[in-house]
Amino acid sequence: MYETKIAIQGGPASFHDAAARQLLSGKRIVTVNCTSFRTLCAMVQQSEVDAAVMAIENTLAGSLLPNYALLQEHGLHVVAEHWMPIDQNLLALPGQSLAGIRDVLSHPVALAQCNGFLQQHPHLQPQETPDTADSAKLICERQLQNTAAIAGKAAAELYGLEVLQERIADNLHNHTRFLLLQKNCPPVSTTADKAILTFRKPLHTATLALMLSMLQKHQVELTMLQTLPATDLRGQLVAELEANHVDQLQEAIAQVRPLVEDLQVLGLLQKAPRPAANIIQKRTAAIV
C-alpha cells in the first residue's frame, strides 16, 4: 500500500503528527520531521513530500502570520483545515511522584501555557527544549529520574511514560488550526465554502472599502483579515472568506481581482468546525 509522505514540524507523537493523522485519516502516512516551517514549505515546493501539515492559528496566540507569508511565498495550495485541542500534560517515568519531580522539560510555548501550574508548584524547575514530544523521548531514552515533560498524551503512550497530572495548561480552550498543503492546485470541490487569499495592500483605504462592499454583494463574509510581515509599508494582506456556495466565492473573487494587485487564491476548501468557546476555563492567579 502506498504511503503518503507528509512533512510536519516536530517528531513522532507531536501535535503536528496527530494533526496529520487526523487530516488524513484512513490513509497510510509516513511523517517527515522538519526543523522549521520554512523547510516544511520548501519540501512541498520541491516535491520531496506529497503534502505537508502546518499550524496556522492558535486560539491563544492568534494567526501565525509568518506561516501565511511562507504559504504565499512558496505558492502552495491549501486543501483542507482542521482544528485540534492542544492538551498539555505532565509526564514522567512510571513510579515517579509529583513531589519528587525537579526538572520540567518542554518547548518554551508549552511551558508558558502551563505557567499557572508551575507557579502553584514552585519546586518544579522549567527547562526549555526544542520540542514537547521529544522531551518525553529524552526522559524515556535516558531513563531520567526526578524529571518530567510537558507534552500531549500521545507522547506518554509512545515513550512509556505515566501521566502525573493531566490538562495542566492555564487556559483549557487552547486549540490550534492546522492546514493541509500541496504543491498542485486540486480541482475545486462543489462543497467548498471557504477561500484563503492574499493580495497586495491597496494604496488607499477607499479601495479596501470597495472590495469589502463587493464581497458583501455576493453574500461572502470576511472572517479574517491580517496584514502580513513586510519590509515596506504596503506589504500583503491575507483574507479568509466564507459563503454558502462555492459559486459565490468564485464570483466575488473574480469581481475583486481587478481592484487589487497580486491576488493569489491560496485555497478553496471546506471550512472546519471551529471549537466551541464555552469550555473556556482559566486557572486563577496564573498571571505575574
Binding-site string for a copy of itself from residue 69 to residue 108, where x marks contact by CB under 8 A and - marks none: x--------------------------------------x
Binding span for a copy of itself by CB under 8 A among 14-22, 138-146, 190-198, 272-280: 272-280
For residues 89 and 152, the answer to whether their CB atoms sit within 8 Å is yes
One residue of 122, 190, 232, 284 binding a copy of itself per CB under 8 A: 232
One residue of 5, 21, 42, 162 binding a copy of itself per CB under 8 A: 42
If the CB atoms of residues 99 and 277 are measured against a copy of itself, the closer one turns out to be: 277
For residues 144 and 195, the answer to whether their CB atoms sit within 8 Å is no
Q: What is each CA distance from 230 to 66, 69, 196, 235, in whole angstroms?
A: 10, 9, 19, 5
Q: Does residue 233 bind a copy of itself (CB under 8 A)?
A: yes
One residue of 25, 28, 95, 277 binding a copy of itself per CB under 8 A: 277
If the CB atoms of residues 185 and 208 are measured against a copy of itself, the closer one turns out to be: 208
**Positive or negative CA dihedral for 253, 259, 260, 262?**
positive
Q: Does residue 274 bind a copy of itself (CB under 8 A)?
A: yes
For residues 65 and 131, the answer to whether their CB atoms sit within 8 Å is no
If the CB atoms of residues 145 and 244 are measured against a copy of itself, the closer one turns out to be: 244
One residue of 144, 163, 212, 259 binding a copy of itself per CB under 8 A: 212
One residue of 30, 188, 254, 287 binding a copy of itself per CB under 8 A: 287
**For residue 141, what are the contacts with CB-CB under 8 A and spacing of at least 6?**
none
> What is the bridge-based pairing of β-strands 77-85 and 147-151?
unpaired
The three cell numbers locating residue 116: 499557572
**Residue entry with cell 492546485:** 185
The three cell numbers locating residue 133: 514530544
For residues 275 and 175, the answer to whether their CB atoms sit within 8 Å is yes
For residues 114 and 150, the answer to whether their CB atoms sit within 8 Å is yes
At residue 35's C-alpha, the angle toward residues 124 and 5, to 5°, is 120
How many Å apart are CA 95 and CA 241, to the nearest integer?
A: 51
Q: Does residue 280 bind a copy of itself (CB under 8 A)?
A: yes
Q: Rule CB under 8 A: which of 135-154 touch a copy of itself?
A: none
Q: Does residue 112 bind a copy of itself (CB under 8 A)?
A: yes
Q: Does residue 125 bind a copy of itself (CB under 8 A)?
A: no
One residue of 86, 91, 154, 228 binding a copy of itself per CB under 8 A: 228
Contacts with a copy of itself by CB under 8 A lie at 36, 38-39, 42-43, 46, 58-63, 65-66, 69, 108, 112, 115, 128, 130, 171, 173, 204-206, 208-210, 212-213, 215-216, 220-233, 237, 274, 277, 280, 287-288
